[in-house]
Amino acid sequence: MSFKDLSLLGLTSLIILLTGSSAIFSSRTVNLSKEENCEFPPLSSLQLKDGDVILRKGNSLFSELIVRNFPAAEGMSHCGFIFKIDDQYQVIHTISEYLSDIDGIRINTLEEFVREAKQNRICIIRYHKKLNPVSMKERCLTLLRQKIPFDNDFDLNDSSRLYCSELLRNVYLEQGEPDFFQMRNIVGVSVIDFATFFNSDLFTTVYKNY
């Protein structure tokens, strides 16, 4: 089956899959390459800060479809916030129950998050303004404790459910930042365009592994 056929068959499911697709694994994963993973450097060399954003390319066919819908996003299909918690770098992000055994917001170590990336392809970026990282961390941990579910409707007007880039947008807005996120219309739904994260007026690249 061609990508064109898959796109036609999966228009509605694509809305469900837009930001959580890189979590597909085990029997649900379709590996697209047998190439060796890119080498990931020691974490101590990355000079990470609380509130940095990590993006990854998923390791599935669905991720490829998502990438094709965000052509200016350098192949990235999923995102989350990095925080140092209990002396360990961890990522707070959200994935749909359609793609994971857990629905919604979860926390993974940075190493776990990277392992789910295709060939370890990730990008770490930093917002251009200094915000309150303690407040951002507490907000994310609060949402984690509340077990906020994944937003399968991709409704930006309802913050009771959040998809991955919507989580980031929600936190930035609560920090008093303007709504700088670019939007893209896909099958009649306005979704956050991952190209936003590659706007050099907004974000600086800390590390790129591709």
Phi, psi of 137 (to 5 degrees): -65, -45
Proportion of the chain above pLDDT 70, given as a percent: 78
Q: What is the mean pLDDT of residues 45-67?
A: 85
The yes-or-no verdict on residue 18 having pLDDT over 60 is no
Nearest CA among 146, 128, 95, 126 for reference residue 201: 128
Q: What is the mean pLDDT of residues 21-31?
A: 38
CATH fold of 3-33+42-208 reads: endopeptidase fold (from Nostoc punctiforme) (3.90.1720)
| Torsion 160-67-79-27 (CA) sign | positive
Q: What is the pLDDT of residue 195?
A: 95
Q: What is the pLDDT of residue 92?
A: 98
Q: What is the pLDDT of residue 122?
A: 93
Exposure string (b/e) for 5-35, b if CB count within 10 Å is 16 or more? ebeeebeeebbbbbbbbbbbeeeebeeeeee
Phi, psi of 164 (to 5 degrees): -60, -50
If one compares 150 and 97, the residue with the highest pLDDT of the two is: 150
Proportion of the chain above pLDDT 90, given as a percent: 61
The 8-class DSSP code of residue 59 comes to S
pLDDT band at 37 (very low <50, low <70, confident <90, very high): low
- pLDDT tens-digit profile of 164-180? 999 999 999 999 999 99
